[in-house]
Amino acid sequence: MKLKIYSSLSKKNEEISFVDENISMYVCGPTLYNALHIGNGRTLIVFDTLYRFFLKFCKKKITYVRNITDIDEKIIQKSQQSYKTPEEVVEENYKLYNKDKENLNLLTPNYEPFFTEYLPKMFDYIYDLIEKNYAYITHKNNIYFSIDKLEKYDFLQNIEDLNTSVRINNEDDKNNSKDFAIWKTTDGFGYNSPWGKGIPGWHMECVVMHQELLGNSFTLHGGGIDLCFPHHNNEIALCYGRNNTLCTNIWVHNGLLNIKEEKMSKSINNIILMKDIIKNKFDGDVFRYLYLSTHYRSPLNYSEDKLENSLKNIKKIREFKFKYNNFLNKFCESVYSDHLLEDFNTPSLLNYLHNKIDDFIQSIDLKEKQIIYTTILNTLYMLGFNLSIRTKLSEKEINKLTEQRWNLKKNKEFAESDKIRTLLHNNFIEIEDTSYGYIWFYV
């Protein structure tokens, strides 16, 4: 059994044997200079779902690393603007990040390293690069990676094709304008190093963490497509310089999330933060549905209509789960193969599950209904949907209210009975009247 997944390095689908092989994956986590936006949420969900897939089907060891960037130029800039220390900026955003992770129902990776714990390891790495002539120290005491040493530098991206929005810093102490900083000497905030006070280059940070936690070679590296160049391209250059490997052949990138066809950016003030929108109405399941109903590599054009549509679909799924929970049984079918094995096609799997819900409703065979119900539920859980009860009302309160409503209705006091129905609806409970009486269920 193999998962075919597109690699930005080879520009084609690569195969991963996931049943009897160890799996190790590294995903670039957030830089804690700000609260997460809904584009960050997409990356988190895509790779959380891939991790869940491996957990479900891999019989060997799985190691998932999702790092935390706790120092870089953006964090220092934010600390200066807000009169806080970089540590305070990180701590504040770390709390928000943890809340987002909980809301999104993310599994905890095996490792969530903070870069600053790896500083001494980075110094060793830099020494090695300097010794191998892949890095040089300048008169300003900055250290750069020397791309002229490489036979080829365009690993993930043809640099000449890049638009001007991806800027290459052209400091005057570089040998080649494309050389990138792995250590920058600073006047203000910085860490002590063998080369004086300074801060690490971002690309260097991830490389040190995956080297330490996953070794010279691992199964796949993931992140948002916006990290392809320069971040991931330069990670490959660093690995190549030090270890003569590309660390992995499989570089998986999820597409961007755009707001009404436009990229999220500070300059047009269209950034939507996760914490501002993930609330009671649009919970983690709604966002997971939104993200997984678009293929992970396609751009996702976010709009309120799209979010409402995800809510509608999640409501249908919840209704199915709670209304028919007496069909739960231990038999189910494996449905991942046709959909996820082909470049992790989650939208196709979700469509399939919706069709299966229709099959369930139409079927009159009890055994078949049990198998369909259990298969759908197990697959949804495997994809990371929570589908938990959302109401704050106790069962006793619900029974009392539904009974009251039923008696009012029998007495033809429709206005009063509808009031209770609305109250229940607002508390995520639906009622259905049948020829035998009524049933209520959670949604």
Interface positions with Zn ion (CB under 5 A): 28, 206
Residue closer to Zn ion (CB basis): 27 or 340: 27
C-alpha span between 377 and 353 (Å, rounded): 9
Residue closer to Zn ion (CB basis): 206 or 300: 206
Residue closer to Zn ion (CB basis): 236 or 278: 236
Query: Residues 124, 111: contact at Cβ < 8 Å?
Result: no
Query: Residues 416, 406: contact at Cβ < 8 Å?
Result: no
- Tokens found for residue 134: 């892949």
Return the C-alpha torsion angle 319, 321, 324, 328, nearest 10. Answer: 180
Smallest separation, CB 238 to Zn ion (Å): 11
Residue closer to Zn ion (CB basis): 248 or 379: 248
Query: How remote is the C-alpha of 232 from its chain's centroid?
Result: 17
DSSP state of 269: T
Residue closer to Zn ion (CB basis): 206 or 238: 206
Residue closer to Zn ion (CB basis): 125 or 373: 125
Token match 């494309």: residue? 178
Residue closer to Zn ion (CB basis): 9 or 28: 28
Strands 198-200 and 220-224: unpaired
- The distance in angstroms from the start CA to the end CA of the chain is 36
Residue closer to Zn ion (CB basis): 121 or 425: 121
C-alpha span between 41 and 267 (Å, rounded): 21
C-alpha span between 272 and 255 (Å, rounded): 17
Smallest separation, CB 206 to Zn ion (Å): 3
Smallest separation, CB 251 to Zn ion (Å): 11
Query: Residues 273, 37: contact at Cβ < 8 Å?
Result: yes
Which candidate, 179, 234, 170, places its Cα nearest to that of 206?
234
Residue 253: Cβ within 10 Å count? 22
Residue closer to Zn ion (CB basis): 29 or 284: 29
Smallest separation, CB 28 to Zn ion (Å): 3
Residue closer to Zn ion (CB basis): 36 or 350: 36
Smallest separation, CB 141 to Zn ion (Å): 25
Smallest separation, CB 214 to Zn ion (Å): 13
Backbone angles phi, psi at 119, to 5 degrees: -55, -50
Residue closer to Zn ion (CB basis): 202 or 373: 202
Residue 358: exposure state from Cβ atoms within 10 A (0-12, 13-18, ≥19): exposed
Smallest separation, CB 257 to Zn ion (Å): 18
Strands 251-254 and 220-224: parallel
CA distances from 219 to 136, 239, 242, 342 (A): 31, 15, 19, 17
C-alpha span between 78 and 91 (Å, rounded): 13
Smallest separation, CB 223 to Zn ion (Å): 6
Smallest separation, CB 231 to Zn ion (Å): 6
Q: Report the amino acid identity of residue 225.
A: I
Smallest separation, CB 280 to Zn ion (Å): 33
SS3 content of the chain, % helix, strand, coil (to 5): 45, 15, 35
C-alpha span between 332 and 322 (Å, rounded): 18
DSSP state of 198: E
Smallest separation, CB 232 to Zn ion (Å): 7
